[in-house]
């Protein structure tokens, strides 16, 4: 667990979701574990493109790669997060660390709900990492950036401030959905996450939060509950893409694929369905290990089998010894899955996992978000059968 200092700038005083506290600008602390960083970083894996689901192995590999990045590139200390990544890897790492730390800081300082976040991808702009979220009938945006260079923080804050105009222009141009008035935006926050590189030991981690002023939007409509519900469903759909197994029965329908149609209907102005299809399948790939009657179902991720690990370590034993927390279990609460399957949309919008935020769980490398999503460190010995030395050696020869 790392306790990262947070700087909330004066501009945030205007934001309607800012939590009460000392006068701005003020300093705070954001608690972050490897497990929480991974859960929040998975927001970068959201995709609104249905055809991408055709390649199930590709979806899985993207998640495994993200888990490997956090497990094998980052070192967590009391008040620092340090990396030894280089060049292109460092650029990619800064993007996803910026997202995770930025959203974590926003959650600590603002009254928000993590399951209201969705990636903003207008018109196929796949490289954009802006996020939109909803709170009490209002729509907000958040832009995240990450860097290991202290000198870059101010210029990144300036870049976020300048980007608000282009975001609003994009919304006016596309509408939501196409041909309708855009949804009114009540705030455009931004965050810059500074973390430490091993070659710059003098750098201290810091997350800066800003809120550039927002001009009134002409012709925008108030958000509707359907907008918020579509956002929440996309959040959970992201996890179901990787925790549900591919189906061999052509007559069955996976939950994430059904949610594609539900979200599309909501965005086109239609009502939410009152009943799910009879052939809907929601069985996850694995049960949470080590806890009897655990309500979380999901998938395992093993950082020892990422490409970087295969190239870096000569054996499975070396990878196991060298990587901190190489294996994780990610799961979604049965309560969430059942609520969606039964089309209890009001219950979904008000859902909060009562088990979230337990200090004991955090100390035991088990992080649960209020959204009902869990990430847990797993003893590598528990997945020995699925992760054999022979398989490691084979994949390493291929990688080399």
171-228 confidence digits (pLDDT tens): 777 655 544 567 888 889 999 999 999 999 999 999 999 998 887 777 788 888 999 9
- Up-side HSE of residue 16: CA atoms within 13 Å toward CB? 12
Predicted local confidence at residue 258, as pLDDT: 95
- For the chain, the maximum distance between any two Cα atoms, rounded to a whole number of angstroms, is 63
Range in 13-17, 39-43, 173-177, 274-278 with the lowest mean pLDDT: 173-177
Cα(61)–Cα(67) distance, rounded to whole angstroms? 10
Among candidates 303, 344, 388, 307, which has minimal Cα distance to 34?
Answer: 303
The total of other beta-carbon atoms located within 10 Å of residue 24's CB is 16
Cβ atoms of 73 and 84 closer than 8 Å = yes
Sequence-distant (6+) residues with CB within 8 A of 271 are 226, 265
Q: Tell me the CA distances in angstroms from 215 to 169, 187, 212, 233, 247, one per residue in order.
A: 12, 10, 10, 30, 49
User: For residues 205 and 5, is the Cβ–Cβ distance under 8 A?
Assistant: yes
User: 368 or 387, which is more confident?
Assistant: 368
Residue 388 confidence (pLDDT) = 84
Residues 6+ apart with CB under 8 A from 35: 325, 328, 365, 366, 367, 375, 376, 377
Q: State the pLDDT at residue 101.
A: 96
- Asked if residue 184 lies in contact with residue 136, where contact means CB atoms within 8 angstroms, the answer is no
Task: Name the pLDDT band for 128 (thresholds 50, 70, 90).
Answer: low
Q: Kindly provide the residue ranges of all beta strands, DSSP E only, lying in 136-243, ordered along the sequence.
A: 138-147, 187-194, 196-197, 206-210
Say if residue 328's pLDDT is above 90: yes
Q: What per-residue confidence (pLDDT) applies to 111?
A: 95
* Nearest partner of 73 among 47, 56, 96, 55, judged by Cα: 96
Is the pLDDT score of 1 beyond 80? no
- pLDDT above 90 coverage of the chain, percent: 57
Higher pLDDT, 266 or 214: 266
Separation CA 98–CA 96 (nearest Å)? 5
pLDDT digits (tens, 9 = 90+) for 2-33: 899 999 999 999 899 999 999 999 999 999 98
C-alpha to C-alpha distance for 59 and 50, rounded to whole angstroms: 12
Note the pLDDT of residue 363.
64
Condensed to tens digits (0 to 9), the pLDDT of residues 233-261 reads 999 999 999 999 888 777 899 999 999 99
What integer pLDDT is reported at residue 220 of this predicted model? 80
Helices 255-267 and 334-341 sit at what angle, rounded to 10 degrees?
Answer: 60
- What pLDDT shows up at residue 129? 54
Average pLDDT of every residue of the chain: 88
- Report pLDDT for 180: 59
301 Cα distance to chain centroid = 16
Please state, in angstroms and rounded to a whole number, the distance separating the CA atoms of residues 236 and 210. 28
**Cβ atoms of residues 104 and 6 within 8 Å:** no
In the chain the beta strands, taken as DSSP E runs, fall at: 2-8, 26-32, 74-76, 81-83, 118-119, 131-135, 138-147, 187-194, 196-197, 206-210, 253-254, 280-281, 286-287, 296-302, 327-333, 366-368, 373-377
> Coil, helix or strand for 114?
helix
pLDDT exceeds cutoff 60 at 390: yes
Confidence of residue 52 (pLDDT cuts 50, 70, 90): very low
Say which residue the tokens 């870049």 belong to: 159
Nearest in space to 157 (alpha carbons), one of 90, 214, 216, 210:
210
């Amino acid at each position: 667990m790392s306790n990262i200092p947070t700087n909330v700038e004066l501009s945030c005083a205007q934001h309607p979701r800012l939590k009460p506290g000392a006068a701005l600008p003020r300093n705070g602390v954001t608690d972050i574990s490897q497990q929480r960083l991974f859960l929040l970083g998975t927001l970068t894996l959201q995709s609104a493109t249905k055809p991408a689901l055709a390649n199930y192995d590709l979806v899985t590999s993207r998640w495994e790669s993200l888990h490997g990045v956090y497990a094998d590139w980052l070192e967590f200390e009391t008040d620092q997060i340090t990396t030894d990544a280089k060049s292109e890897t460092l650029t990619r790492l800064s993007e996803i660390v910026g997202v995770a730390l930025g959203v974590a800081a926003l959650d600590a300082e603002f009254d928000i709900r993590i399951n209201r976040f969705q990636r903003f991808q207008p018109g196929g702009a796949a490289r954009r990492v802006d996020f939109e979220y909803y709170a009490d009938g209002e729509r907000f945006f958040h832009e995240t950036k990450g860097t290991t260079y202290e000198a870059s923080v101010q210029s990144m804050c300036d870049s976020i401030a300048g980007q608000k105009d282009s975001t609003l222009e994009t919304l006016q141009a596309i509408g939501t959905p196409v041909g309708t008035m855009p949804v009114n935006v009540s705030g455009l926050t931004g965050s810059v996450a500074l973390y430490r590189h091993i070659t710059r030991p003098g750098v201290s981690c810091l997350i800066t939060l800003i809120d550039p002023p927002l001009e009134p939007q002409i012709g925008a409509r108030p958000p509707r509950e359907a907008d918020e519900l579509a956002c929440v469903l996309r959040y959970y759909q992201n996890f179901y893409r990787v925790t549900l197994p591919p189906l061999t029965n052509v007559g069955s329908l996976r939950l994430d694929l059904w949610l594609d149609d539900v979200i599309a209907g909501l965005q086109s102005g239609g009502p939410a369905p009152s009943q799910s299809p009879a052939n809907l399948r929601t069985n996850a790939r694995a049960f949470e290990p080590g806890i009897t009657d655990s309500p979380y179902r999901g998938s395992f991720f093993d950082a020892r089998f990422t490409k970087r690990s295969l190239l870096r370590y000569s054996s499975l034993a070396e990878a196991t010894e060298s990587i901190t927390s190489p294996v994780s279990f990610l799961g979604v609460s049965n309560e969430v899955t059942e609520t969606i399957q039964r089309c209890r949309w009001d219950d979904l919008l008000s859902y909060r996992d009562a088990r979230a935020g337990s200090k004991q769980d955090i100390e035991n490398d088990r992080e649960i978000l209020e959204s009902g999503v869990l990430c847990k460190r797993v003893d590598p010995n528990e997945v020995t059968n699925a992760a054999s030395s022979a398989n490691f050696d084979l994949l390493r020869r291929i990688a080399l």
